[in-house]
Amino acid sequence: MADAHGAGTPSSPTEIIRSYVRVGVTLGLLTVLVLVLAYAGVPVGILIPIVIILAVIQIYLQADVWMHLNHGRRLYTIFFVSGAIVALEVFLAALVLMWTH
Amino acid sequence: MSSHVMDVPAAAHEHHGLIIENQRLGFWMFLGSECVFFASLIGTYLALHGRDIGNLGPRQLFDIPYASILTFVLLSSSLTMGLGVAAMGRGEVRTMRRWLYATLGLGLVFLGMQVNEFSTYWRAGLHMNSSLFSASFYTLVGFHGLHVTFGVAWIIALIVYSYRAKGLDASQTVRFETAALYWHFVDVVWILIFSVVYLVGVLQ
């Protein structure tokens, strides 16, 4: 386990637990914020980009702290991010193909 | 002579470490491929979600408070999984097992709630072949549910294994680490599904 953590990652057990709980609470609060905005009557044109941005922040927090993506070996990050980039391309291609046919 | 004898276990240890590193690397590659898989399903859903029939579309069917509870359950399970792995890092097998049980329980709650959600839609008349919206929705959320089911089975196997294993060395901890990575990834996908499928579906 220890070798999965690198520089910048909390090292003491208490720090690790604190950082995990902090991220958990932050993710919960961001979800609540999304719900509040959804029911607050914010115009849809503004709300949808906000929802997407908040989802990206949540995903980044999960990948960074809980999955140790930025603190493990660089090769892991490269393989995962490569997959994510291909995923984004597939996602956009699927949207373009289906909307134009 | 004696140095030669000492080199054999050192080489074996190095080889063993390489295997563990390869397992981790292979798993990250697998997660990268899973990104592509879910991106294609979400892209397809977004392109087709407007093709519903009459009163059986996202606006009429999706229950945002219910989907929010599903989100909180899965987020909590990701936290308990992380705390379990942290306990494993400290060598506290019993504490780790308790967190694994908590993760398992939350995973089962999530699955039960999702089965209930699907059966509600089914009773309302939204079947797999009702519309392009229903087909893409059931495929996307169903595949995510299958991933959660596999994760639950994996956690059960790890709990059983933790009772049988005597201590946890590096080759054993990597099994728990990869299971935790998988579980966090499934949670990441759900955050996307909640935001893009449920919220955007209802708001649009």
Report the C-alpha gap between B80 and B72 in whole angstroms.
12
Q: pLDDT value at position B82?
A: 93
For residues A17 and A47, state if they share a domain. Answer: yes
Confirm if A5 and B82 have CB atoms less than 8 A apart: no
User: A24: how many CB neighbours lie within 10 A of its CB?
Assistant: 21
Full domain range(s) for residue A82: 73-101
User: A17: how many CB neighbours lie within 10 A of its CB?
Assistant: 16
Distance from CA of A21 to the nearest CA of B (A): 7
Question: Is A44 among the domain residues?
Answer: yes
pLDDT digits (tens, 9 = 90+) for B13-54: 666 667 777 788 888 889 989 998 999 899 888 888 777 777
For tokens 């397992």, name the residue. Answer: B23
Report the C-alpha gap between B19 and A65 in whole angstroms.
25
For residues A15 and A28, state if they share a domain. Answer: yes
For residues A65 and A91, state if they share a domain. Answer: no
Question: Is A100 among the domain residues?
Answer: yes
pLDDT digits (tens, 9 = 90+) for B96-118: 999 999 999 999 999 999 999 99
User: B22: how many CB neighbours lie within 10 A of its CB?
Assistant: 10
| Residue B11 binned pLDDT confidence (cut-offs 50, 70, 90) | low
Residue B5: is its pLDDT beyond 70?
Answer: no
CA-based end-to-end distance of chain A:
49
Report the C-alpha gap between B17 and B6 in whole angstroms.
17
For residues A17 and A38, state if they share a domain. Answer: yes
A77 vs A61, which has greater pLDDT?
A61
CATH 1.20.120.80, applies to B2-203: yes
Domain count, chain A: 2
Question: Is A2 among the domain residues?
Answer: no
Tell me what the mean pLDDT of segment A52-73 comes to: 85
Least CB–CB distance from A1: residue in B39, B173, B194: B173
pLDDT digits (tens, 9 = 90+) for A1-44: 444 444 455 667 788 889 899 999 999 999 999 989 888 888 88
For residues A46 and A78, state if they share a domain. Answer: no
pLDDT digits (tens, 9 = 90+) for B116-163: 999 999 999 889 888 888 999 999 999 999 999 999 999 999 999 988
Residue of B nearest to A43 (CA): B203
For residues A41 and A26, state if they share a domain. Answer: yes
For residues A41 and A56, state if they share a domain. Answer: yes
Residue B3: is its pLDDT beyond 50?
Answer: no
Of A57-61, B11-15, B146-150, B196-200, the one with minimum mean pLDDT is: B11-15
Confirm if B35 and A84 have CB atoms less than 8 A apart: yes
Decide: residue B138, CB within 10 A, 0-12 exposed, 13-18 middle, 19+ buried. Answer: buried
For residues A15 and A43, state if they share a domain. Answer: yes
Q: Do you know the residue count of chain B? A: 204
For residues A66 and A21, state if they share a domain. Answer: yes
Q: Do you know the residue count of chain A? A: 101
Residue A17 in tokens = 């637990």
User: B97: how many CB neighbours lie within 10 A of its CB?
Assistant: 17
For residues A46 and A57, state if they share a domain. Answer: yes
Residue of A nearest to B169 (CA): A1
For residues A81 and A63, state if they share a domain. Answer: no
Report the C-alpha gap between A31 and A36 in whole angstroms.
9
User: A6: how many CB neighbours lie within 10 A of its CB?
Assistant: 12
Q: Give the start-to-end residue ranges of the domains of chain B.
A: 2-203
Confirm if B113 and B69 have CB atoms less than 8 A apart: yes
Distance from CA of A33 to the nearest CA of B (A): 11
Contacts of B44 in chain A (CB under 8 A): 94, 98
Q: pLDDT value at position A4?
A: 42
Question: Is A81 among the domain residues?
Answer: yes
For tokens 């493990």, name the residue. Answer: A72
Confirm if A6 and B171 have CB atoms less than 8 A apart: no
- Amino acid letter, residue B83: L
In the stretch 19-48 of chain A, residues with CB closer than 8 A to chain B read: 20-21, 23-24, 27-28, 31, 34-35, 38, 44, 47-48
Question: Is A28 among the domain residues?
Answer: yes
Q: Where are the alpha helices (DSSP H) in B53-92?
A: 58-61, 64-89
Question: Is A51 among the domain residues?
Answer: yes
For residues A65 and A79, state if they share a domain. Answer: no
Q: pLDDT value at position A79?
A: 82
